[in-house]
Chain A
Amino acid sequence: MKRVALSGNYAVAYAVKMADVDVIAAYPITPQTPIVEKLSEFVADGLLDAEYINVESEHSALSACIGSSLTGARTFTATSSQGLAYMHEVLFMASSLRTSIVMANVNRALSHPLNIWNDHSDAMAERDVGWIQFWVNSVQEAFDATIQAFKIAEEVLLPVMINLDGFILSHINEVLILPDEELVREFIPSKPLFNRLSPKLAYTIGVVGPPEYYYEMRYQIIDAIERSRKNINEVNREFGELFGRTYGNISTYMMEDADYALITMGAVSSTAKIVVDSLRKEGEKVGLISIRCFRPFPKNDIIEVFEDVKSIGVLDRALTPGGIGHPLFTEIVTTLYDSSKIIPVQSFVGGLGGRDITIDDFKQMYKIIKDVGLSGRRKPCIYIGLRE
């Protein structure tokens, strides 16, 4: 074990190396590129014994990953934004063919206008593809989630996407506890996975599913991702035993006695924490929730922490134009529908295309959340920092 300063991107690359992946197929795109560059370097230097496929597109990257995973190889890819969107139809195939692919998606805005900076539109547009989705808050989490992802993906036969915020996390150096490679191997042994493309089996894969069968075949994804909740918790517990750190499906800050809560995803939660600290000093009982596991959505964990809050704010960093609410807001409101309490929820949007969400922005959000709590009435979505 050693302490090193690494960027989020390099943390992922080191985790992939320590996982001893067999095949990498990936295509460069900002801000993900340093991951594939680092992995190419590991392979070139003989530090990672893997086939690195320099595919000609993200569509082919994920297609090759499916072929590889079904042949029994531990398989990794990484992308961002347009690259993820380009993979769209293949994302469905990766989950429905029950692969164990692990992907790092370094979150970036989608065109147009072209924008290389951070928001969550890319992954939010892929909510329904049947992948497990993790969202990390720190470089350490990026590393740890990548290691955990291989174990989960290989146990439940579903692909896992790790989301880390472009630049804010991908390009920022933080101190990382880098475990010994042997410990990682103990956690995820380097072993061949099930080869479903063997001439010994002669399976037919990727069939036509007529109406009499398609429905049941698709339902298997619902079943698998629901059952994955247990594996995710168990893998996290085992990880804790070996590495001394665990993560919940959500992470909470000052929620024990909070009256007013803000829900976020990704790295902005560290700015939000600073604001929570300062408001707490002023006597405001505010708290913060950050969603780590977005798919499967941790409904029960969330209901539990909402026990005593008076109002909630949800910060979305992606849009659902013309919808009833933006993606995270909709999930939270739906979650609350099943709880016994009626809690007003205020929708916020912020930080699109790399626009900073400042400390003052968070203060303003907490003030509005409190007003909503006192009046019991929420306002239409508030677009934080939007110039009229």
Chain B
Amino acid sequence: MFKTIKDLPRDEYLAPGHRLCAGCTVGTAVRQILKASGGNVVVVTATSCLEVSTSYFPQTAWRVPWIHLGFENSAAVAAGIESALKALRKKGKSNEDFHVMVISGDGGTFDIGIQALSGALERGHDLLYICYDNEAYMNTGIQRSSATPYAAATTTSPPGARSIGQRTHKKDLVGIAIAHGIPYAATACPSYPIDLMNKVRKGLDVEGPSLLHVLTPCTTGWRFDPSLGIEIGRLAVLTGLWPLYEVDRGVTRLTVQVPKREPVRKYLELQGRFKHISENEINKIQEIADKNAEKFGLGPIKE
């Protein structure tokens, strides 16, 4: 267990100098994830911002073994690696011992990759699947995904005379994962590094599949000042739009308490993607936060 910032390992496994945008919180999240892993991991990443920004030949930002195949198959690749290691160890052909981890985007997880993810979770491979969620297809220029929140503007859910932006609501990824009967799943956000890193450890240490759903605010796609990424992540948690919780062998527990919630307006008004919305939409989004508060036991809205 990491208790304070002082407990964190000094080792860096994501090298500086990668090509993620200035202010991107995905780099921050991956840095924390790899630190928590201790480096004895093989990482699989789907085609995404993270992938193109860290593996531009002849440079690499990865100091751990890393593989990318395609957009929709990172869970299957991880399953193959895990099975190979298991077979080789069992047959006495290898004495290597490492964790297998996926770090893929919301498109590669919620949409095109959900079949492979479901298969890997159902089969019970010993791996940690981490979805970093910037709430759209950012690599290809901010198209909506099924993780894009209600009313957000993207290039394929633009607001207009007949559109309020994204029509639909975000899928419940942790719920979907838990429905597979896996032992551990949790939400996280790099604005809360200790919480995130302890969840990475738990996910790695538990036997069988585990899943982490990490909110990673995106300066380019959400249209906020690059200095605000961590602040916006914090507001997502403090408004109740992104409750930090875990489901550990059937027990759901809020891991970061929010005694007094911020109104969602405070979160929304910092982001260009919500600039077009009216009171009506703001109220609907507030309802989402209120429901979360009820479900997870968050406090009332600050006066």
> What is A's interface to B at a CB cutoff of 8 Å?
22-23, 25, 49-51, 53-57, 59-61, 63-73, 75, 89-90, 93, 97, 190-192, 195, 197-210, 213, 217
Q: Which residues of B (89-129) have their CB < 8 Å from a CB of A?
A: 90-91, 93-94, 96, 98, 115-116, 118-119, 122-123
Q: How far is the CA of A329 from the CA of B17 in the complex (A)?
A: 52
**Assembled-state Cα–Cα distance A192/B88 (Å):** 7
Let me know if B68 is at the binding interface, CB within 8 A.
Answer: yes
CB of B76 within 8 A of CB of A63, answer: yes
C-alpha gap A112/B81 in the complex (Å): 35
Least CB distance, B59 to chain A, in whole angstroms: 9
Give the distance in Å from the alpha carbon of A201 to the alpha carbon of B60 in the complex.
14
Task: Report how far A203 CA is from B55 CA in the complex, Å.
Answer: 11
Asked if residues B116 and A59 are in contact (CB atoms below 8 Å), the reply is yes
Q: A67-B78, A199-B98, A204-B62 are in contact. Are A192 and B83 (CB under 8 A)?
A: no
Binds A, one of B36-44, B220-228, B269-277: B36-44
Residue B1 at the chain A interface, CB threshold 8 Å: no
| B174 interfacial contact with A, CB 8 Å | no
B66 lies within 8 A of A205 (CB)? yes
Alpha-carbon distance A51/B85, docked complex (angstroms): 10
* Contact B77–A63 (Cβ < 8 Å): yes
Question: Is the pair A23, B84 in contact by a Cβ cutoff of 8 Å?
Answer: yes
Contact code string B50-81 (vs A, CB < 8 Å = 1, else 0): 01100111101011111111101101111111
Q: What's the count of A-B pairs with C-beta under 8 Å?
A: 167
Residue of A nearest to B60 (CB): A204
Interface centre among B41, B55, B60, B65 (most CB of A within 10 A): B65
B87 CB-CB contact with A under 8 Å? yes
Question: Considering only CB atoms, which chain A residue lies closest to B68 in the complex?
Answer: A206
Q: For the A-B complex with A59-B116, A72-B94 known, give 14 more contacts whose Cβ atoms are closer than 8 Å.
A: A25-B79, A55-B76, A56-B119, A57-B116, A63-B77, A64-B77, A66-B77, A67-B84, A97-B69, A191-B93, A195-B96, A202-B64, A204-B62, A204-B66
Give Cα A252–Cα B116 distance, bound, in whole angstroms: 45
Q: Which residues of B contact A205 (CB under 8 A)?
A: 65-68
* Contact bitstring B226-251, A, C-beta under 8 A = 1, else 0: 00000000000000000000000000
Q: Write the chain B residue with the least CB distance to A73.
A: B84
Residue of A67, A190, A202, A217 touching B81 (CB-CB under 8 A): A67
Judge whether B86 is part of the interface by a CB distance below 8 angstroms: yes
What are 14 A-B pairs with beta-carbon distances under 8 A?
Answer: A49-B91, A53-B123, A56-B116, A63-B77, A63-B116, A67-B69, A72-B93, A197-B42, A198-B98, A202-B62, A204-B62, A206-B68, A207-B60, A210-B56
Q: Per-position contact with A for B120-160: 1 when CB-CB < 8 Å, else 0?
A: 00110000000000000000000000000000000000000
A60 to B125: give the CA distance in the assembly, Å: 14
- In the complex, which residues of chain B have a beta carbon less than 8 angstroms from the beta carbon of A66? 69, 77, 80
| Contacting residues, chain B, for A97 (C-beta < 8 A) | 69
Quote the shortest CB–CB distance from A310 to chain B (angstroms).
Answer: 50
Q: Which residue of chain A lies nearest to B116 when distances are taken between CB atoms in the complex?
A: A60
Q: Which 8 A-B pairs have the closest CB atoms?
A: A67-B80, A64-B80, A56-B119, A60-B76, A71-B84, A73-B84, A63-B73, A206-B68
Closest A residue to B77 using CB positions: A67
Is A53 within 8 A of B65, CB to CB?
A: no
Q: Tell me the residues in window 201-231 of chain B with beta carbons closer than 8 Å to chain A beta carbons.
A: none
Contacts of B80 in A (CB 8 A): 23, 25, 53, 63-69, 71, 75
Say which residue of A65, A68, A198 sits within 8 Å of B96 (CB atoms): A198
- Give the distance in Å from the alpha carbon of A73 to the alpha carbon of B116 in the complex: 21
Q: Which residues from B are CB-within-8-Å of A197?
A: 42, 65, 67, 81
Instruction: Report whether B118 and A56 are in contact in the complex, using a CB–CB cutoff of 8 Å.
Output: yes
> How far in angstroms is the closest Cβ of chain B from A90?
7
Identify the closest chain A residue to B122 (Cβ): A56
Instruction: For A97, give the chain B residue with the smallest CB separation.
Output: B69
Chain B residue with minimal CB distance to A191? B93
Assess whether A55 is in contact with B70, with CB atoms less than 8 Å apart.
no
Judge whether A22 and B87 touch: CB under 8 Å. yes
Whether A54 pairs with B123 at a CB distance below 8 angstroms is yes
Contact B60 A55 (CB under 8 A): no
Residues from chain B with Cβ under 8 Å of A199 in the complex: 39-42, 64-65, 96, 98
Q: How far is the CA of A139 from the CA of B118 in the complex (A)?
A: 37
Residues from chain B with Cβ under 8 Å of A25 in the complex: 76, 79-80, 83
Cβ-defined contact, B88 with A57, below 8 A: no
Q: State whether A51 touches B83 (Cβ < 8 A).
A: yes
The answer to whether residues A202 and B87 also contact, given A59-B72, A72-B94, A195-B96 and a CB cut-off of 8 A, is no
Smallest beta-carbon distance A97→chain B, Å? 8
Interface centre among B60, B77, B115 (most CB of A within 10 A): B77
- Report which of A54, A60, A71, A217 forms a contact with B88, defined as CB distance below 8 A: A71
- Complex alpha-carbon distance, A50 and B87, angstroms: 6
Chain A minimum-CB-distance residue to B73:
A63
Determine the residue in chain A with the shortest Cβ distance to B64. Answer: A202
What are the residues of chain A within 8 A of B76 when measuring CB–CB? 25, 55, 59-61, 63-64, 67
A84 to chain B, nearest CB (A): 16
A58 to B55, CA, bound (A): 27
Chain A residues whose C-beta falls within 8 Å of the C-beta of B56 in the assembled complex: 207-208, 210
Which B residues touch A55, using CB under 8 A?
A: 76, 79, 119
Residues of the A chain whose Cβ atoms lie less than 8 Å from the Cβ of B44: 67
Greatest chain A CB density within 10 A among B75, B81, B96 is at B81
